[in-house]
Structure 1
Amino acid sequence: MTTRIFLADDQADIRMGFRRILEAETDLQVVGEADNGIAALMAIRSLEPEVLLADIRMPEMDGLELTREITRSMPAVRVVVVTTFDLDEYVHTALREGACGFLLKRSRSAVLVEAVRAAAAGDSMISPEVTTRLLNRFRRERRAVRRPDEPMTSREEEVARLVAEGLTNSEIGAELFISAGTVKTHLARLQKKLGVRNRVGIAAWVWESGLMAQK
């Protein structure tokens, strides 16, 4: 099954680069692009992609406004915000407005691809660089956290630590010599045991619980 993607960014070279990265994957297809938020909104209404990659700073309508409108009127479209600026205010606003991902444009190609796939699957992903900074705050402000509903296996603890370090599923698989599919299964079990919605929740739990210090 092919995931249909729309690109919204006012820089043509960025759109071209994203298109090349994404269309190198057999399961991803870029179905349209726009250089401003208004044009993106109109095109998305007719093209109905599964995933929108949206820059924050665009003319006509910026990426945060576009995210708000898309998640309000077309909730089936999953929004991943991609930007040069990793300000906490942007991260919080994007996620509050309904984005299911936040990536920096300097993120590696593998991270971009995995974020799109995660969005299409209904999961969330934040750029590892941003995740690390945000989660360092959890580490400094550590507080009591809920215990897992079931004991975590040693393998699940390994996967959880690597998630907290910002590794992608494929990188975790390579590190532990397991398939990306097996990593995904471990993540699903961790989410259930920890009562969190996505990998960001897993990472936050790892830092808050002090599991990283037990390495």
Structure 2
Amino acid sequence: MTIRVVLVDDQSMIRTGLRMVLAAEPDIEVVGEAGDGASGVRVVAELEPDVVLLDVRMPGMDGLEAARRIVGSGARTRVVVLTTFDEDEYVAAALRAGVSGFLLKVAPPEDLVAAVRTVAAGQGLLDPAVTLRVIRSFAAAPAPDPGRAAELAQLTERETDVLALVAAGLSNAEIAARLYLGEATVKTHVSRVLLKLGLRDRVQAVAFAYESGLVTPGR
């Protein structure tokens, strides 16, 4: 199956570079481009790609608002936000908007390709360099949401432990080693957590963990 991708970035050179990297892959096709958020929303609605790579800072409608509109439209398109090192203030907002992943613009080509495939397969993606920034952003957030906190009661103790470690940025293999479990068992726990809480992927699980108060600045 070919993964259909739309690129949204106000810098044409960035779009050209992204297109060149992705066009070299037999299972990925760039089907459209846009130079601002409003155009990006229209192109995504028209083409219904599997993945949209979306810059944050753009003239007119920025990437955050575009992400909210794309996710809020109910489209099957998954959003990956492209960030730079100086955009910490956008990370938590994009996470709350429902994006499926973050990727640094300086990431090597192989990471870009892997990100597109990972998100297209229905999994969330947090660039390791972004994970700590996500944690810092939520650490500075307001008090936990009582409604989110109440939802934690649906989880077993082990599922709660797994969710906390997912929010800390650990992979399934790392969680398995930390909890002395098999990796397949951890994968099952993660799937059950997502199902019980109505979350789409690990990225949303990170947001939930912080919004519910399960993970706090001191923990």
What TM-score bracket applies, with the shorter chain setting the length?
A: 0.5 to 0.7
Cα separation, 1, equivalents of 2:36 and 2:22: 20
In structure 1, stretches of 5+ residues that fail to align are 139-145, 165-185, 209-215
Tell me the CA shift for residue 137 of structure 1.
9.8
Report how many residues are paired: 174
Corresponding residue of 2:89: 89
C-alpha change, 1:20 and 1:160, in structure 2 (3 Å) is same
Provide runs of 4+ in structure 1 moved above 6 Å. Answer: none
Is 1:53 aligned to 2:49, yes or no?
A: no
**TM-score of the superposition, structure 2-length normalised?**
0.66
For the Cα contact (< 8 Å) 1:191–1:199, is it kept in 2? no
Is 1:33 aligned to 2:33, yes or no?
A: yes
Q: Give 3-state SS (helix, strand or coil) of 1:33's partner.
A: strand
Alignment deviations for residues 33-52 of structure 1 (CA, whole Å, 9 cap, x no partner): 01111111222221111111
For the Cα contact (< 8 Å) 2:4–2:51, is it kept in 1? yes
Tell me the CA shift for residue 119 of structure 1.
1.4
Tell me the CA shift for residue 129 of structure 1.
0.6
C-alpha change, 1:81 and 1:118, in structure 2 (3 Å) is same
Cα separation, 1, equivalents of 2:68 and 2:202: 23
In the TM superposition, 1:179-194 aligns within 5 A as 186=183, 189-194=185-190
In the TM superposition, 1:109-188 aligns within 5 A as 109-134=109-134, 148=158, 160-161=173-174, 186=183
C-alpha change, 1:54 and 1:136, in structure 2 (3 Å) is closer
Corresponding residue of 1:105: 105
**TM-score of the superposition, structure 1-length normalised?**
0.67
Corresponding residue of 2:80: 80
Tell me the CA shift for residue 160 of structure 1.
2.2
In structure 2, stretches of 5+ residues that fail to align are 139-155, 163-169, 178-182, 195-200, 215-219
Alignment deviations for residues 163-188 of structure 1 (CA, whole Å, 9 cap, x no partner): 99xxxxxxxxxxxxxxxxxxxxx5x6
Cα separation, 1, equivalents of 2:71 and 2:15: 22
Please give the root-mean-square deviation of Cα atoms over the aligned residues, in Å: 3.6
Q: Give 3-state SS (helix, strand or coil) of 2:32's partner.
A: strand
C-alpha change, 1:148 and 1:24, in structure 2 (3 Å) is farther
